[in-house]
Amino acid sequence: MRPVGAHTGTGLRAAARAGTERGAGAHRHAGRSGAGPRAAAVRARRFLAAVAALPAVLAAAACGTGGPASILDRETLVVGVKPDQPGLGVKRAGGRYEGFDVDVATEVARRIGAGGVEFVTALSSTRQRLIEDGRVDMVVATWSITPQNRAEVTFAGPYYVAHQDTLVRAGDRDIGNVRDLKGRRLCQAAGSNSWRRVTQERQVPVTLVPASSYGECLAMLRDGELDAVSTDDLILAGFAGRDSSAFRIVNAPFTDERLGIGMRKGDLDGCEAVNRAITAMYQDGTAEKLLRKWFGSSGLDLTFTVPQFEGCA
């Protein structure tokens, strides 16, 4: 891949040559007309202003790339993960992150040759902006690969195919599947599309209750401020496992959720390298080991075969 700014030196030289030729031409024309000193001076000033502006233009173009062209160019990868999803991504005291997504990111980074990993918080409402602004290199945060999301970032994976299910209070036996949510209060987590699969794809009429994150959804469910939380079963299993006496998973999945690793739009080399790393993780048993570590006691029917990749774009 051509380095950032590889063509700019040529462009600068070409612009300088073109400007010189225009200046020379203006001088020759002035000489022929006999009345051109003022016009020649104006042209000269315009040319010098254009040349003076080129460094700023080129600097702006370089800044717009958001850093290295690919995650493969980074010695240390900055990875966004969730801070409040048990089993997937939790930020502990002292700033340490742990969970399945954290382990996956660490393993992928090692396999693509990164020298280290730095984790930062990425909420559903902020993860796309973190990539676009160049503040993270990758996001591994239960991010579903959808046409809408793929239009904005490049996804490797999926690294796991989860299924959308529903979490309710342990004592609520009236909700047995997604249709039973009719007329109920459903959490609408910021930045997540899970609620759309209930209200739009399944056309179940519910009352949406906004929340900043799934962590807040669970607090509201516990306090009786809503009736259900519906999203990826891995997310729900983590929360239910933390307090099985307070919550229960309905165990009536109704979609496939392809969880991908997001990166800067167009980083196809990085995407393909990550896909090779994910494939190797499943083939050598690493993925199964990590899934059992974090969700082995959840009761979920875990899958240990290589997911079908979406293709890098």
DSSP symbol at 172: -
Is 143 inside any structural domain? yes
- Number of folded domains that form the chain: 3
Instruction: Specify whether 107 is located in the same domain as 241.
Output: no
**Do 78 and 153 share a domain, yes or no?**
yes
In a domain, 276, yes or no: yes
- If asked whether residues 248 and 267 sit together in one domain, one would say no
- What sign does the CA torsion over 145, 146, 149, 151 have? positive
The answer to whether position 305 is within a domain reads: no
User: Are 24 and 39 within one domain?
Assistant: yes
Is 301 inside any structural domain? no
The per-residue pLDDT for 47 is: 54
Same domain, yes or no, for 204 and 122? no
Query: Is 151 in the same domain as 288?
Result: yes
- Indicate which CATH number applies to the domain containing 170: 3.40.190.10
Write the burial class of residue 304 (CB in 10 Å: 0-12 exposed, 13-18 middle, 19+ buried): exposed
Looking at residue 5, its pLDDT comes to 37
238 & 287 share domain? no
- Do 285 and 153 lie in one domain? The reply is yes
Which of 63, 81, 106 lies at the terminal end of a domain, its last residue? 63
Query: Quick one: 216 and 90 in the same domain?
Result: no
| Inter-CA distances, 88 with 17, 47, 91, 133, Å | 58, 58, 10, 24
Would the pTM count as exceeding 0.75? no
Residues 242 and 267 in one domain: no
Show pLDDT as tens, one digit a residue, over the chain (313 residues).
Answer: 433 333 333 343 333 334 434 444 444 444 444 445 555 554 555 555 444 544 443 444 434 444 447 999 999 999 999 999 999 999 999 999 999 999 999 999 999 999 999 999 999 999 999 999 999 999 999 999 999 999 999 999 999 999 999 999 999 999 999 999 999 999 999 988 899 999 999 999 999 999 999 989 999 999 999 999 999 999 999 988 888 889 999 999 999 999 999 999 999 999 999 999 999 999 999 999 999 999 988 878 899 999 999 899 9
Domain membership flag for residue 33: yes
Domain finish residue from 40, 63, 86: 63
Are residues 267 and 123 part of one domain?
Answer: yes
Residue found by looking up tokens 């229960």 in the block: 248
In a domain, 250, yes or no: yes
Q: Do 32 and 171 reside in the same domain of the chain?
A: no
Beta carbons of 139 and 108 less than 8 angstroms apart: no
C-alpha 131/C-alpha 133 separation (Å) is: 5
Return all residues near 229 (Cβ < 8 A) that are at least 6 apart.
Answer: 166, 167, 168, 186, 187, 214, 217, 218, 221, 236, 239
Inside any domain, residue 102: yes
Q: Report yes or no on 300 lying in a domain.
A: no
Buried/exposed 95-123: b ≥16 CB within 10 Å, e otherwise: eebbbbbbbbbbbbbebbebeebebbbbb
Provide the 10 A C-beta neighbour count for residue 174: 8
Domain range spanning residue 49?
Answer: 8-63
